[in-house]
Structure 1
């Protein structure tokens, strides 16, 4: 039985999720825990259950069976609004006012709102937003409308926004989606620096490509049809054999200079 004590940022035990309208199994008997300072990659084919798993630990849904602990609180026994307020969540599908400046977008992270609540932001809050933009290496974007920022710049601004409440857990849902190569590398470098500068911060990143994993990645979880195929230290999980089992086709995995590469050959 997993220890649900607060040293775990999140802990799941025997978790299942079913779609009530069709009784379809989305997640089945998932056991998983994340500790402070760990950086997890969450991988699996489309429909494997990655987004559902992220929603559970982001306190935006409840399991059908099993228990989910987030920051020492069990879902179903806590006001999830309190949990969401201290979690960082980044998704490229987040609705952000396109005409708002990058600084304003980051400010909204303090209130967890889409539109700014100006009366809630004191001088210290406004300064923190500037500091976070600088931490993500995009302080020059402070006065630029979010809508004219590049994809990579937007991703870093959204991470700065997610860091406003000083979260213990940062959830990144396909943050590299549609980024070109330079933007991808800028974001990877930003995540690597975060791991160094914030040693207690835990992250979970959903991605489809091993090339997008920063060198700071410590652990990985592979999902296949709602079940955990493997989870643990990244070098033990991201092997050709395990990736092949997870995705159902031959995959060759290489690791060099802290970065990963996966290639798929022809099926036999």
Structure 2
């Protein structure tokens, strides 16, 4: 297994040690060891059902491991108030289950309450509103503050959710298949937004789950390949996303290419004729 070459002096934001997770007597995760440090931008990649989302749920303090330990922002799961810890973690889920017609500004402000819907009779402080507006501008939504959730495009929703997740100024940002439902133009705009975010917040650590290498921002620094609930390779992204390792991860011949900071995966030559 390729191990991440992290700088020892860089603060560890997230550490998974000898992690295992069992559900309904079935091993979902086994022997997971992963350290993510401030300023690193990780991608978790693997086939459907490999365990990526379960790992992300541990990172987000939404699940306890069956065995092993999880330290998030210096706190060990099982020895800390999970709800309180989650307030310090930014989590972007494109399937955000909002049902009311909140404006972009209101959606972002719900990051202060940690709720999906607007809290009745809650009035945010002026400095919170100002920060929300700064984030809306940073994410390229300035002038659209009053657009409502039902009328927003999927790309606008995605950027609004990033702004929402950043309202509490987290040290860790989790992105669960953030390009879901985006057309190619919206996807490219979204990836550009992530790259700009990484440049503006160099200390921010991010973990992105995806099935598609084409959906990785240029600023991705590290990757982990997940195979049948185990990490089959991890480390600097250019060392992990190779034809050999990705082919082994998906048990299918996949040719990997890298050009101008972006990745591409396609069936290896001659595969269809076999």
Q: What CA distance in whole angstroms lies between the structure 2 residues aligned with 1:104 and 1:6?
A: 35
3-state SS, counterpart of residue 81 of structure 1: helix
Alignment of 1:107-118 (within 5 A): 107-117=109-119, 118=121
TM-score (norm 1): 0.95
Correspondence 1:236 to 2:239: yes
Q: What CA distance in whole angstroms lies between the structure 2 residues aligned with 1:176 and 1:135?
A: 19
5+ long unaligned stretches in structure 2: none
Structure-2 residue corresponding to 1:12: 16
- Describe the superposition over 1:117-147 as per-residue Cα deviations: whole angstroms up to 9, x where unpaired: 3534011111111111100011122000011
Name the structure, 1 or 2, with higher relative contact order (CA <8 Å, separation 6+): 2
Correspondence 1:171 to 2:178: no
Alignment of 1:1-268 (within 5 A): 7-19=11-23, 21=24, 23-117=25-119, 118-265=121-268, 266=271, 268=274
TM-score (norm 2): 0.93
1:98 deviates by 4.0
Contact persistence 1:6–1:71 (CA under 8 A) = no
How many residues are treated as equivalent by the alignment? 265
Taking structure 1 as reference, are residues 129 and 34 closer, same or farther at Cα in structure 2, changes over 3 Å only? same
Q: What CA distance in whole angstroms lies between the structure 2 residues aligned with 1:17 and 1:241?
A: 28
Runs (4+) of structure 1 exceeding 6 A deviation are 2-6
5+ long unaligned stretches in structure 1: none
Q: What CA distance in whole angstroms lies between the structure 2 residues aligned with 1:68 and 1:85?
A: 17
1:43 deviates by 0.4
